Amino acid sequence: MSCIDRFSLSGKTALITGAAGYLGSAMAKALAEAGAHVIINVRSSARGEPLLREIHAQGGSAELLVLDVSDQQAVQEYFAHGGPETLHVLVNNAYKGKGGTIESSDAGDYIDSYQVAVLAAHNMLKGALPALRRAVRESGDASVINVGSMYGVVSPDPRVYDTPAGTNPPFYGATKAALIQWSRYAACEFGAEGIRVNSISPGPFPSDSVQQDAPAFVAKLAAKVPMGRIGQAGEVAGPVLFLASAAASFVNGANICVDGGWTAW
């Protein structure tokens, strides 16, 4: 297999949760461009249809999956009845939350955050195991990629944020740290059978609307990055494609920070 072929996802199936968001849509499009058939998970068809049309317009292969990934029974039913028979790549990207501080947060914020990220990743991996194992038997490899955050590694600088409500919240960081650690557990449990589990931790990737509406805030973020700028959505695609492909066949249990060096200071 040539070096270029090792990065190809041609003939493979990938499922990405939380696919309609800023980074999720970039990852979904990249997986399709690499040749994968992409299952786009969203909570409502209205959120996912524009992305589905865009992938199809670019010649990619994709389908929509409307599913609450924090609902264990619904996930189990999906994989038992109608889910992919073979799944080569699973990207756990789903998250739902808001801003806040420790003082302004309550127990429900932590529970909601944990359910939509960590418990959902658990539900998806457990439900997908037969399909992931079939991928290993057929092609020798399956990859699970969990999307953490730089704030699962370091704390946000409160001086960057203008209000408590606009601050990156503690339940977000705690949840992402848990997801990164859970990824290591999964890597150790399933690595021997050829299912690799890794995480990526994106850094400052403010959405297009934030970039347009809050340039002063974006400038503060950029000032904290050794590279002197924020990340653009497409820049998360390379690490995801690497981990999804055979090029990362001996990468297991890693957490790749995609943050321009934010966590390296």
CA distances from 190 to 10, 85, 173, 241, 249 (A): 24, 19, 26, 20, 14
End-to-end Cα separation, the chain, in angstroms: 39
**Residue 205 C-alpha from the chain's centroid:** 13
- DSSP string across 156-220: --GGG-SSGGGSPPHHHHHHHHHHHHHHHHHHHHHGGGTEEEEEEEE-----HHHHHH-HHHHHH
Q: Is 114 part of the annotated catalytic residue set?
A: no
Of 95, 151, 161, 172, which one is the catalytic site residue? 161
Catalytic residues: 161
